[in-house]
Amino acid sequence: MDLTPIHPKVTPIYQTSVFKFASLAELEAYYTTPGRGGRYGYSRSEHPNSDELVAEVARLEGAAGGGVATGAGLAGLLAAVLAVCQAGDHILCPAELYGGSVVLLSKELARLGIDTSYVPLAELYDIKKHRRPNTKLVLAEVLSNPLLVMLDGPRLAQACHEEGVLLLIDSSFTSPILTRPLDWGADMVWHSATKYLAGHSDVTAGVVVARDPDIGQRLRRLATNLGLMLAPLDSWLAVRGLKTLRLRMRQHSENALAVAQFLTQHSAVAQVFYPGLPTH
């Protein structure tokens, strides 16, 4: 069926595993043209829905290097780490890091020869003191999960640059509506799109975008080779969520502050962890 004359306002769901080529010349161009020449062949490697999601997140983050959408948030972390690290490299993280990230780094990636160490966030800014000769990457969250310890992003980015170490920021809790880590000088931004980006609790996904196009290409290659690519329907649902992201983040923030202020006055609550409170 030829759908060329049809121009939908919303991108269709390309629920297909493979794409057809009109000629052998087109097939040859797919395999010989850098970037596939804008063509699609196999959804494990690329498909329009994933490309739309990545392009929109990259636009929101100001990421010129592009990136990749993955089947879960932790798959995005895996792609980000393997895009810049190999056996023998070291990663430095805050001790307050999300537990799921710690398990991936310290159990699974350790088996691949990538070592990770942790220091309290307050000490992490002294990269020169805590780095090793083989330190390749620093990973930190804008707001730690779950206690919401706040990161001084520009300070950490400057410290990483001074030591020649790459910086990956987990911005899942803030989204590009509240923070844009690449503006600080971070090299990659990673989201568990399962949370605020998609926003409707019906998608499990990750997105990583990069400043450097070379890193962006490596992210795509890893997603293809490791089978990390987000499926068409999930990509489409995440794009749908992005359309209301700005409005939702405003309301999320208002609601969270109201709940936090209420809980601070409750006799049964000993402590409230929320960045909008003066006691945080």
Identify whether residues 137 and 257 lie together within a single domain: no
> For residue 101, what pLDDT is reported?
99
Identify whether residues 116 and 153 lie together within a single domain: yes
> For residue 2, what pLDDT is reported?
58
Choice among 40, 51, 89, 98 that is catalytic: 98
> For residue 3, what pLDDT is reported?
59
Identify whether residues 271 and 221 lie together within a single domain: no
Choice among 195, 212, 221, 274 that is catalytic: 195
- The yes-or-no answer on residue 98 being catalytic is yes
Sequence-ordered list of residues with C-beta below 8 angstroms from that of 125, at least 6 positions apart, any chain: 152, 155, 156, 159
Asked if residue 3 is part of any domain, the answer here is no
Q: Which residues are paired to 143 by β-bridges?
A: 150
Task: Return the CATH number at 108.
Answer: 3.40.640.10
> For residue 227, what pLDDT is reported?
97
Handedness of CA 60, 183, 50, 228 (dihedral sign): negative
Identify whether residues 88 and 201 lie together within a single domain: yes
Choice among 51, 89, 115, 170 that is catalytic: 170
Please tell me the total count of domains within the chain. 2
- The yes-or-no answer on residue 44 being catalytic is yes
Q: Which residues are paired to 69 by β-bridges?
A: 207
By residue range, what is the domain housing residue 270?
A: 246-280
Identify whether residues 252 and 148 lie together within a single domain: no
Length of the chain: 280
Handedness of CA 70, 72, 75, 79 (dihedral sign): positive
3-state secondary structure 138-153: EEEECECCCCCCECCH
> For residue 1, what pLDDT is reported?
45
Identify whether residues 125 and 180 lie together within a single domain: yes
Instruction: List per-residue pLDDT tens for the chain, 280 residues long.
Output: 455 678 889 999 999 999 999 999 988 988 888 777 778 999 999 999 999 999 999 999 999 999 999 999 999 999 999 999 999 999 999 999 999 999 999 999 999 999 999 999 999 999 999 999 999 999 999 999 999 999 999 999 999 999 999 999 999 999 999 999 999 999 999 999 999 999 999 999 999 999 999 999 999 999 999 999 999 999 999 999 999 999 999 999 999 999 999 999 999 999 999 999 999 9
pTM over 0.75: yes
Identify whether residues 229 and 258 lie together within a single domain: no
User: What number of helices (H) and strands (E) belong to the chain?
Assistant: 12, 7
Identify whether residues 107 and 189 lie together within a single domain: yes
- The yes-or-no answer on residue 129 being catalytic is no
φ/ψ bin of 207: left (φ > 0), alpha (ψ from -120 to 50), beta (otherwise)? beta
Identify whether residues 269 and 133 lie together within a single domain: no
Look up tokens 């780095």; give the residue. Answer: 131
Identify whether residues 275 and 196 lie together within a single domain: no
Look up tokens 């000993």; give the residue. Answer: 270
Identify whether residues 279 and 175 lie together within a single domain: no
Count Cβ neighbours within 10 Å for each residue of 169-200 and write b for 16 or more, e otherwise: bbbbbbbbbebbbbebbbbbbbbbbbbbbbbe
Identify whether residues 263 and 189 lie together within a single domain: no
Choice among 36, 39, 44, 221 that is catalytic: 44
Asked if residue 276 is part of any domain, the answer here is yes
Largest CA distance in the chain: 73
Asked if residue 146 is part of any domain, the answer here is yes
With beta carbons less than 8 A apart as the criterion, state whether 170 and 139 touch.
yes
* C-alpha span between 94 and 155 (Å, rounded): 14
- The yes-or-no answer on residue 170 being catalytic is yes
